């Protein structure tokens, strides 16, 4: 649909619909102001100190971990579909008469005209960005940030290096490696559900933190060895006003690492395909 098609009756209908939607949403928000029910969030807040000090990490990756797993899937699928449209994995029926596949070529990226100053400036920025990304993902359970943010930061480092240096980019990742990044990332996230499933029956039960095996109706038990493997490396001593409390975020840091790999693989692959197009031979930035 083009903008000119919105002239006349279609445009009036669209404008009226938008006005109704705007009025409905805006008036609802006004009514909710000061009346928002706290619901289950109070319980989450009560338990905050027992998992990750960054309560948001507990919400996103533990209590709502399966939501985030599927959200991670949205990023993964976004990459698969975007790159598919550009040529990776387009399929045809093995039949006599099929319509032609639309070929999409890459951008005409010219880096020769890039100022020398930028070329000197970009490399340290890329290194700093990657270091910052690593910091953000490793500190996910204790401060703001996490796998998503790390992935976006590292991807922007990749894009910067490709724009400045082109095929001679120091951050030269092969397209197969980028696909493997995504595979490893989402796969790691999915598989972190397995230990909890095998010992308690609950998928993605946090065996490192093991919050609930003391409840009488809890089925199963977490072996000490498993608790040690997933819990001890991430143990923190929290100074609360009631005294020191030991807490571990358990599997959450590992999930965040998986998340970051997924986002790096997905976003960099989309960049790669848009800049260089796609052919099934190893070419483009990889050479």
Report 145-204 residues binding another protein (CB under 8 A): 179-180, 183, 186-187, 190-191, 193, 196-197, 200-204
Site for another protein in 240-279 (CB under 8 A): none
Please state the closest distance from residue 111 (CB atom) to another protein, in A: 29
Tokens read off for 173:
């990742």
User: 5 to 64, contacts with another protein by CB under 8 A?
Assistant: 24-25, 27-28, 31-32, 35-41, 43-44, 62-64
Q: Which of residues 91 and 240 has its CB atom nearest to another protein in the complex?
A: 91
| Candidate list 90, 221, 236, 238; residue touching another protein; CB under 8 A | 90
Contact set for another protein, span 101-140 (CB under 8 A): 101-102
Residues near another protein (CB under 8 A), total: 72
Of 151, 141, 125, 176, the residue nearest 282 (C-alpha): 176
Cα-Cα-Cα-Cα torsion 49, 52, 58, 63, nearest 10 degrees, comes to -70
Instruction: Tell me the two tokens of residue 220.
Output: 């199963």
CA distance 48 to 68: 18
| Span near another protein by CB under 8 A; candidates 108-116, 153-161, 205-213, 230-238 | 205-213
Q: Among 99, 108, 112, 242, which residue interacts with another protein (rule: CB under 8 A)?
A: 99
Q: Residue 138 class from Cβ within 10 Å (0-12 exposed, 13-18 middle, 19+ buried)?
A: middle
Selected from 218, 226, 283, 286, the binder of another protein by CB under 8 A is 218
Residue 86 backbone phi and psi in degrees, to 5: -85, -5
Among residues 65, 146, 208, 284, the one that binds another protein under rule CB under 8 A: 65
3-state secondary structure of 237: strand
Burial code (b: 16+ CB inside 10 Å, e: under 16) for 18-47 equals eeeeeeeeeeeeeeeeeeeeeeeeeebeee
Q: Give the number of other CB atoms < 10 A from CB of residue 199.
A: 19
Question: Does residue 81 touch another protein according to CB under 8 A?
Answer: yes
Q: Which stretch binds another protein (CB under 8 A): 90-98, 130-138, 149-157, 166-174?
A: 90-98
Report the residue from 84, 134, 138, 163 that binds another protein according to the rule CB under 8 A.
84
């Amino acid at each position: 649909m083009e903008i000119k098609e919105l002239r006349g009756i279609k445009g009036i209908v669209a404008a009226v619909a938008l006005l109704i939607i705007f009025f409905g949403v805006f008036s609802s928000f006004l009514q909710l102001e000061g009346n928002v029910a706290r619901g289950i969030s109070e319980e989450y807040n009560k338990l905050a100190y027992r998992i990750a000090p960054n309560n948001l990490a507990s919400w996103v990756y533990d209590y709502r971990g399966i939501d985030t797993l599927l959200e991670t899937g949205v990023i993964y699928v976004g990459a698969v579909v975007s790159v598919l449209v550009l040529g990776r994995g387009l399929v045809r029926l093995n039949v006599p008469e099929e319509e032609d596949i639309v070929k999409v070529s890459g951008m005409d990226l010219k880096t020769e005209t890039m100022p020398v100053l930028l070329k000197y400036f970009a490399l340290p920025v890329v290194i700093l960005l990657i270091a910052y990304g690593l910091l953000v993902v490793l500190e996910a359970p204790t401060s703001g940030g996490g796998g998503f943010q790390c992935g976006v930061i590292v991807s922007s480092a990749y894009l910067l290096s490709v724009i400045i240096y082109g095929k001679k980019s120091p951050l030269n990742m092969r397209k197969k490696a980028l696909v493997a990044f995504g595979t490893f990332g989402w796969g790691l996230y999915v598989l972190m559900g397995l230990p909890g499933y095998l010992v308690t029956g609950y998928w993605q039960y946090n065996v490192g933190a093991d919050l609930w095996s003391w409840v009488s109706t809890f089925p199963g038990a977490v072996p000490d060895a498993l608790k040690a493997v997933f819990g001890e490396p991430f143990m923190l001593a929290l100074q609360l006003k009631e005294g020191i409390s030991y807490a571990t975020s358990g599997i959450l840091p590992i999930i965040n690492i998986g998340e970051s790999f997924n986002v790096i693989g997905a976003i960099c692959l989309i960049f790669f395909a848009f800049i260089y197009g796609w052919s099934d031979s190893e070419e483009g930035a990889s050479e």
